[in-house]
Amino acid sequence: MRTWFSTAILVGLWLHANIAFSSEHTYVFNTSTSAPYVTDDQQGFQDLVIAEAFKRLGLKARVEKYDASARALINANDGVDDGVAMRIKGLEANFPNLVRVQERLIVNDFVAYSRGLDLRSETWESLKPYMVGYINGWVIFERNLPSNQPKATVRDPQQMFAMLNKQRIDVALYERWQGLYNAHSSGLIVKVHEPPLASVDMYMYVHKKHAKLAQPLAKVLRAMKADGTYQAIYDKSLTVLNDKSK
């Protein structure tokens, strides 16, 4: 508790000395991910974590969803939005106006779903006996699946899980929590195969005009993890989906 208060005091003093801002301004962080990361009622994982992090800095922030991932990045880089809610490390190489908050926001697991196959997904090659489906343009799957993998690409997760339900594919490939959310929304009970095919660290980014926020945000995220707030949000918005799979 003492550590958290010390961090809060230091961050508060630092902000007071270094950042001029309007108390009425709401920072906008964009995302191209869907529920349960961002939801209409602002109760998604990204919604809650970012709002809480900024609240601890005496600021306001919200997450805005884009359907077009490329447009979201362009707008963040151009300063139309104030930053990016959740992206991979190294984004600044192609978008030099973005500054990474150097505390991991979350780990994204990319997993295989089926209707009950006896499959342990230790390698990409373990999928070769099955017809797999994934969303067109998802590079992580395009780069890693074997060249002779039976596969079907789809336009969106709803189409993919409908195909799984109708047994037009054996396995659906997607990010863990968005996959569970979409499966449950369609009334489909799925098996999530372990271990993940890939796990990727994800980070928040701010536009360079807000670069002085990057270090305080990292400190606040660490404090949220230390005091249990982060885990409470994680459980409320994400791991609750595991219960619906049983």
Per residue in 92-102, pLDDT (tens digit) is 999 999 999 99
165 and 237 share one domain:
no
Domain of residue 124 covers: 108-199
Tally of domains within the chain: 2
32 and 54 share one domain:
yes
| Each residue's pLDDT tens digit, 222-245 | 999 999 999 999 999 999 999 766
The rounded distance, in Å, linking the Cα atoms of 27 and 38 is: 16
Count of all residues that appear for the chain in the document = 246
185 and 218 share one domain:
no
176 and 143 share one domain:
yes
pLDDT band per the 50, 70, 90 thresholds, residue 246 = low
99 and 207 share one domain:
yes
162 and 48 share one domain:
no
Q: Is residue 24 scored above 90 in pLDDT? A: no
127 and 176 share one domain:
yes
DSSP letter (8 states) at residue 82: S
10 and 93 share one domain:
yes
User: What is the average pLDDT across 201-205?
Assistant: 98
97 and 218 share one domain:
yes
6 and 99 share one domain:
yes
Q: What is the CATH number of the domain that holds 228?
A: 3.40.190.10
Q: Considering only CA atoms, which of 178, 140, 176, 171 is closest in space to residue 156?
A: 178
| Each residue's pLDDT tens digit, 45-100 | 999 999 999 999 999 999 999 999 999 999 999 999 999 999 999 999 999 999 99
The answer to whether the peptide bond before residue 96 is cis (omega within 30 degrees of 0) is no
User: What is the average pLDDT across 201-221?
Assistant: 98
- Per-residue confidence (pLDDT) for residue 1, from 0 to 100: 53
174 and 206 share one domain:
no
Q: Which residue in this structure is represented by tokens 């709401």?
A: 26
**Cβ contacts of residue 70 below 8 Å, gap of 6+?**
none
91 and 159 share one domain:
no
